[in-house]
Amino acid sequence: MSDHEHDDDFSALPHHEPRMSDIDPRAAKRAERQVALLFTGAMLCGIAFIVAFAAVPVEKLVWVPLIGDTQLSNLLLGLFMGLGFFLVGGGAIHWAKKLMPEQEVISERHDTGAPAEARQATFKELERGVNESGVRRRPLILATLVGALALMSVAPLVLIADLGPKPGTKLRYTMWRKGMRILVAETGQPIRPQDLLVGSLVSGVPDGIDAVLEAEGNLNELAKAPVILVRMDPTDIKAQQGTDWDFQGILCFSKICTHVGCPISLYEQQTHHLLCPCHQSTFDLADGGQVIFGPAARELPQLAITVDTDGYLVAQGDFAQPVGPSFWERG
Amino acid sequence: MTPLLARRRHPLATAALLLVALMAVGGLYAAVSGGRAQAAPQSASTTQIDLGRKLYSEGCSSCHGLNAEGGQQPDGTISGPSLIGVGAAAVDFQVGTGRMPLQANGPQAAPNLPSYTPDEISALAAYVASLGPGPSIPDTGTYDPKDADVVLGGQLFRSNCGACHNFAGSGGALTFGKRAPAIVNTTPRHIYEAMITGPANMPIFPDGTLRPADKRAIIAYVETLKNAPNPGGLDLGRVGPVTEGLLFWVVGIGALVVAAVWIGAKAR
């Protein structure tokens, strides 16, 4: 600090201009009152926050321009909390700018690294400790200690086995079986081919899914089995994933995107493109469900369909490939 | 002298006469106006079809062909699809929402104020309906969402409509500039017609898989979306993270920059 160079640094700083509050006691008093006023405002906001919480019923709605009908309680709590925090911060900054010292000060960093004497003393202490522990004369102790530490750090890895059980074949198959009817999702009606016009779209689930969900106590099958049915002019179909997997232009595809498994039903009936709303993967249903855009890596699995003796649309069997996103064992 | 004439000076005679006259006028009015309301959209008269053909020739035929067989431009691109068999419902939707006549070439027709009066739209619909069988304009009872199952409507909306039209009916983007429009300001009749006709790239939801009662339930749910309050404050169009992020970046970070400038400014 006493170095002459540092004095030069000081002279390089701009000339210090005193503030009004530094030279005029009345200005300083005024600044003090302004800060106190801001803090008092924050106090009032805190009280208003508590009053709003206690006095305004949650279900009370109020019309506000730009927003429309909104919850009064939420609005007041947010306004008072936001304003209160702003006034605390504003007061603190006003205080720092008007009243706290603002002389420019240079604080020198000290050298990094310990002095040579201290380093030497530390190494000497270490050396003495090693000698006193006697590991050089008794190597058995060191060897067993290393072994103990190594084994104890590896032993907890067996807990990974508790992350299981492994999914097995659950990711590879769905509940679709040969002859299982396709029902309209939510309403549960069976579907006849003549119900579907060219250009129509239906979200479907397998017959009996409700019983399966109830028996399993989870929604796993509903995460895998949903399908969409679309009908297009048979001459529009360029390719399918199997021969005669359609029924007179009615195509059935998995509703689960092969990227990360979002349900997809953004269907453009003129282009036959199916879009995923999550990451814009786009599949061409007229061309075997091929990916034509987006992050999906695999085509959308097609479900082979036909009609049963009563004339309702049914599956020819399960999907020929796993539905949904890729997984580790699939390769 | 008949007994009726003999009692013409009875104190209640004036009241009885008034009652008969009122019932006659009221009944006549109900018969005439009721008959008109039912007849207008459905059973088209020949004069209505003739008016429709005239309007069609003037306003539609340049793109859709002189006989609605569809039109092609010299380079082979389709200027307008064939309207044979699209039905009255498609006309009522496309013209009634101002999508047709097409205002400008683009990825898809944009909704606008209708260019025709309701009577002219009925005439156009009657003419197109006369060209071939297609879905007819639904009557009020078919699409009126009153007393419909709103809960089922919500489930069906999320399963069938929400993917494109957004969870709050605010619409969303499709491919190559096409988009699913916001539907919260669409009338129940036009929503119903859209479901049965599949305008532009929207799929058709036929009555066989989505029954009229199911469609009515969906409309009832959309009606609740129209009137839903915003408990959380400004809804920013209810389109999700896009506007929220934009507001945060522009207004939020802008406010922080202003605050930082204030903090850094030298006090006097």
Nearest to B159 among A71, A203, A230 (CB): A203
Is B268 near chain A, with CB under 8 Å? yes
CB contacts, 8 Å: B255 with chain A: none
- pLDDT higher than threshold 50 for residue B213: yes
Tell me how far apart the alpha carbons of residues B219 and B221 are, in angstroms, rounded to a whole number.
5
Nearest CA distance, B137 vs chain A (angstrom): 18
Instruction: Report whether B144 contacts B214 (CB < 8 A).
Output: no
Q: B79 falls in which pLDDT band (50, 70, 90)?
A: confident
Instruction: Report whether A253 contacts A303 (CB < 8 A).
Output: yes
Is B268's CB within 8 Å of A203's CB? no
Residues of B35-44 as b/e, b for ≥16 C-beta within 10 angstroms?
Answer: eeeeebbeeb
Tell me how far apart the alpha carbons of residues A39 and B75 are, in angstroms, rounded to a whole number.
75
Tokens of B31: 């018969």
Nearest CA in chain B to A72: B231
Tell me the average pLDDT across B170-191.
90
Is B236 near chain A, with CB under 8 Å? no
Instruction: Tell me if A190 is assigned to some domain.
Output: yes
Q: A290 - beta bridge partners?
A: A284
| Phi, psi torsion values for B90, nearest 5 degrees | -65, -40
Of A14, A16, A18, which Cα lies nearest the Cα of A99?
A18
**DSSP assigned state of A208:** T
Instruction: Tell me if A236 is assigned to some domain.
Output: yes
CB contacts, 8 Å: B206 with chain A: 195-197, 200
Q: Is B186 helix (H, G, I), strand (E, B) or coil?
A: coil
Q: Examine the domain organization and report whether A144 and A227 are in the same domain.
A: no
Segment holding A253, helix H or strand E: strand A250-254
Nearest CA distance, B261 vs chain A (angstrom): 12
Tokens of B39: 């007849």
Residues near B83 by Cβ (< 8 Å), separated by ≥ 6?
B60, B64, B68, B70, B90, B91, B128, B131
Instruction: Report whether A210 contacts B214 (CB < 8 A).
Output: no
Tell me the average pLDDT across B88-116.
89
Is B159's CB within 8 Å of A293's CB? no
Please report which residue ranges of B40-185 form alpha helices under DSSP H.
46-59, 61-64, 87-96, 118-129, 140-143, 150-156, 162-165
| Count of other CB atoms within 10 angstroms of residue A262 | 16
Task: Give the pLDDT score at B32.
Answer: 57
Look at the block and give the residue holding tokens 């919850």.
A71
Nearest CA distance, B36 vs chain A (angstrom): 33
Tokens of A27: 């200005």
Segment holding A291, helix H or strand E: strand A290-293
Instruction: Tell me if A110 is assigned to some domain.
Output: no
CATH assignment of the domain containing A249:
2.102.10.10
**DSSP assigned state of A71:** E
Q: Examine the domain organization and report whether A147 and A225 are in the same domain.
A: no
User: Model confidence over A135-145: pLDDT tens digits?
Assistant: 888 889 999 99
Sequence letter at residue A162: D
**DSSP assigned state of A197:** P
Tokens of A102: 């603002």
Q: Examine the domain organization and report whether A56 and A134 are in the same domain.
A: yes
Tell me how far apart the alpha carbons of residues B114 and A295 are, in angstroms, rounded to a whole number.
41
Task: Give the pLDDT score at B268.
Answer: 73
Tell me the average pLDDT across B174-184.
90
Tell me how far apart the alpha carbons of residues B256 and B268 are, in angstroms, rounded to a whole number.
22
Nearest CA distance, B203 vs chain A (angstrom): 5
For the beta sheet containing A290-293, the strands, ordered from the edge strand earlier in sequence to the opposite edge, are A266-268, A273-275, A282-284, A290-293
Residues near A13 by Cβ (< 8 Å), separated by ≥ 6?
A104
Q: Examine the domain organization and report whether A210 and A254 are in the same domain.
A: yes
Tokens of A61: 């709605």
Q: Examine the domain organization and report whether A156 and A199 are in the same domain.
A: no
CB contacts, 8 Å: A71 with chain B: 229, 231-232
Instruction: Tell me if A112 is assigned to some domain.
Output: no
Task: Give the pLDDT score at B214.
Answer: 94
pTM of the model: 0.75
Tell me how far apart the alpha carbons of residues B90 and B194 are, in angstroms, rounded to a whole number.
8
Task: Give the pLDDT score at B2.
Answer: 62
Task: Give the pLDDT score at B3.
Answer: 62
Q: Is B92 helix (H, G, I), strand (E, B) or coil?
A: helix
Nearest CA in chain A to B259: A90
Is B163's CB within 8 Å of A277's CB? yes
Task: Give the pLDDT score at B33.
Answer: 55
Q: Examine the domain organization and report whether A187 and A158 are in the same domain.
A: no
Task: Give the pLDDT score at A143.
Answer: 93
Structural domain count of chain A: 2
Instruction: Report whether B13 contacts B7 (CB < 8 A).
Output: yes
Nearest CA distance, A122 vs chain B (angstrom): 46
Q: Examine the domain organization and report whether A94 and A192 are in the same domain.
A: no
Sequence letter at residue B54: K
Is B201's CB within 8 Å of A275's CB? no
A1 to A97, A103, A245, B215: CA distances (angstroms): 27, 17, 86, 83
| Count of other CB atoms within 10 angstroms of residue B260 | 10
Tokens of A318: 């399960």
- pLDDT higher than threshold 70 for residue B42: no
CB contacts, 8 Å: A282 with chain B: 175
Instruction: Tell me if A172 is assigned to some domain.
Output: no
CB contacts, 8 Å: B210 with chain A: 184, 187, 202
Q: Examine the domain organization and report whether A152 and A188 are in the same domain.
A: no
Q: Examine the domain organization and report whether A84 and A124 are in the same domain.
A: yes
Please report which residue ranges of chain A form alpha helices under DSSP H.
4-12, 20-23, 25-55, 72-98, 116-133, 139-154, 209-216, 220-224
Nearest CA distance, B63 vs chain A (angstrom): 19
Instruction: Tell me if A174 is assigned to some domain.
Output: no
Is B159's CB within 8 Å of A69's CB? no
Tell me how far apart the alpha carbons of residues A269 and A255 are, in angstroms, rounded to a whole number.
16
Q: Is A222 helix (H, G, I), strand (E, B) or coil?
A: helix
Q: Range of A139's domain? A: 3-105+119-163
Instruction: Tell me if A284 is assigned to some domain.
Output: yes
Per-residue pLDDT of chain A (331 residues; tens, 9 = 90+): 444 444 455 566 677 788 888 889 999 999 999 999 999 999 999 999 999 999 999 889 898 888 888 999 999 999 999 999 999 999 999 999 999 988 878 888 888 888 899 999 999 999 999 999 888 888 899 999 999 999 999 999 999 888 878 888 889 999 999 999 999 998 999 999 999 999 999 999 999 999 999 999 999 999 999 999 999 999 999 999 999 999 999 999 999 999 999 999 899 999 999 999 889 999 999 999 999 999 999 999 999 999 999 999 999 999 999 999 998 888 6
Residues near A39 by Cβ (< 8 Å), separated by ≥ 6?
A87, A88, A91
CA angle B163, B164, B165 (to 5 degrees): 105
Q: B167 falls in which pLDDT band (50, 70, 90)?
A: confident
Q: Examine the domain organization and report whether A7 and A77 are in the same domain.
A: yes
Tell me how far apart the alpha carbons of residues B149 and B157 are, in angstroms, rounded to a whole number.
12
| Count of other CB atoms within 10 angstroms of residue A69 | 14
Instruction: Tell me if A99 is assigned to some domain.
Output: yes
Q: Examine the domain organization and report whether A234 and A98 are in the same domain.
A: no
Rg (C-alpha) for chain A, rounded Å, is 37
Q: Examine the domain organization and report whether A54 and A197 are in the same domain.
A: no
- Of A128, A163, A198, which one is at a domain's C-terminal end? A163
Task: Give the pLDDT score at A4.
Answer: 47
